[in-house]
Amino acid sequence: MSKSEVDAGDSVHPGKPVIVDRYTVAARINHWITAVSLVLLALSGLALFTPALYFLTGLFGGGQLTRIIHPWIGVVLFLSFMGLFFRFFRLNLWERTDSVWMSRMRDVLANEENKLPEVGKYNAGQKMVFWSMSLFILVLITSGVVIWDQYFGNYFTIEQKRIAVLIHSATAIVAICVWIVHVYAAIWVRGTIGAMTRGKVTGGWAWRHHRRWLKDLVTGKN
Ligand code: HEM
């Protein structure tokens, strides 16, 4: 028997249209702290990455302040993502049907979701965002500590710091790309943004995109 797709706080409200609670207030605040800190980190990090983008330091009060603030925002992102991780990891565990979903990307992009296995609370694409971000944020905080000279300068050799800078920047670029895909998908699948702004989606949205989740909710499987 497959696991229940229902999360704490999920519930269905009959009506016209049917409304389904998808995220609690706490989960939404947690997500938006993560989102804002990632955007600020990307802007301040890109400002330090290349002289061509140095002008972005103006947003943070100049070069010195950007250098001081950037690692602290990183700590905020790390802690807040840990919150998301423990909230969401259970329903992001990979299942056999996720591999089938991925292998039929053509149907996903053609909006032919009826031809695909029924999806639980998260589809395979969302799960990939979740796990890749988990890995990237771990790599970013670890490599970030190695190059945080103010506090950890004496603990690492110059050679180690050079390697860490390379890993840190390369991972940041890939994480920014994953973030762009995440936001694009949230906009592309109409009705999804409401999940993170109001915590709610319509029954039609849930039936179309996350049918197994809706069925588990309605049948009380939890
Ligand atoms: C401004 C930027 C962002 C927007 C507009 C956005 C939008 C959304 C939306 C609409 C959802 C709900 C999707 C659904 O329930 O089907 C969601 C879920 C989620 N978001 Fe974001 N997001 C943003 C930034 C981020 C960042 C920076 C991260 C992590 C580094 C992140 C991680 C997640 C996770 C883990 C979920 C739960 C879905 C899953 O587990 O795959 N988001 N986001």
Domain definitions of the chain by residue range: 11-218
Give me ligand 1 centre to Cα 156, in Å. 35
Tens digit of pLDDT at every position of the chain (222 positions): 678 999 999 999 999 999 999 999 999 999 999 999 999 999 999 999 999 999 999 999 999 999 999 999 999 999 999 999 999 999 999 999 999 999 999 999 998 999 999 999 999 999 999 999 999 999 999 999 999 999 999 999 999 999 999 999 999 999 999 999 999 999 999 999 999 999 999 999 999 999 999 999 999 886
- On whether the CB atoms of residues 113 and 104 are closer than 8 A, the answer is no
CATH code assigned to 11-218: 1.20.950.20
Model pTM above 0.85: yes
The catalytic site residues sit at: 182
Residue 202 three-state SS: strand
Nearest-atom number in ligand 1 for the CA of 194 is 10
Q: CA quadruple 73, 78, 83, 88: dihedral positive or negative?
A: positive
